[in-house]
């Protein structure tokens, strides 16, 4: 099978650390990347979870919002004046 080249840019420190790790486990960087590619192709997914953590949707914040809504619905809210600021 013909080989193709895959080029990726990474931070110099990360590349050196990756090369050192691969060497310590008896692999070349190319072999490690090929293993990664094979796993992705075989499993049709990344071999780790990718997620963005948004603090708005955290359990603690959602509980706080629900409590605030319940307080407002029970008539325990306070009206405040809108404070407007000028753009600089």
Q: pLDDT per residue over 1-18, tens digit each?
A: 899 999 999 999 999 999
Does residue 33 lie in a domain region? yes
Q: Measure the CA–CA gap between 85 and 59, rounded to whole angstroms.
A: 32
SS3 66: helix
- 25 lies in some domain: yes
78 in any annotated domain:
no
End-to-end CA distance of the chain: 62
Residue 37 lies in a domain: yes
pLDDT for 74: 93
Angstrom distance (rounded) from CA 50 to CA 43: 15
> For residue 3, what are its two tokens?
């080989």
Tell me the average pLDDT across 16-39.
97
Total structural domains in the chain? 1
Please give the share of the chain, as a percent, with pLDDT higher than 70: 99
Question: Can you give the residue range of the structural domain that contains 37?
Answer: 12-43
Q: Average pLDDT in the 19-40 region?
A: 97
Whether 3 is covered by a domain: the verdict is no
Please report whether residue 75 resides in a domain.
Answer: no
This prediction's pTM: 0.58
Confidence of residue 82 (pLDDT cuts 50, 70, 90): confident
Please tell me the predicted confidence (pLDDT) of residue 19: 97
pLDDT above 90 covers what percent of the chain?
Answer: 72
Asked if the structure places residue 73 within a domain, the reply is no
């Amino acid at each position: 099978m013909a080989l193709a080249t895959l080029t990726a840019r990474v931070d110099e420190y990360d590349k050196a650390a990756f090369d050192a790790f691969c060497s310590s486990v008896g692999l070349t960087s190319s072999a490690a990347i090929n293993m990664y590619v094979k796993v992705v192709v075989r499993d049709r997914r990344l071999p780790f979870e990718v997620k963005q953590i948004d603090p708005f949707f955290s359990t603690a914040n959602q509980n706080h919002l629900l409590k605030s809504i319940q307080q407002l619905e029970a008539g325990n809210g306070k009206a405040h004046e809108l404070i407007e600021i000028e753009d600089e």
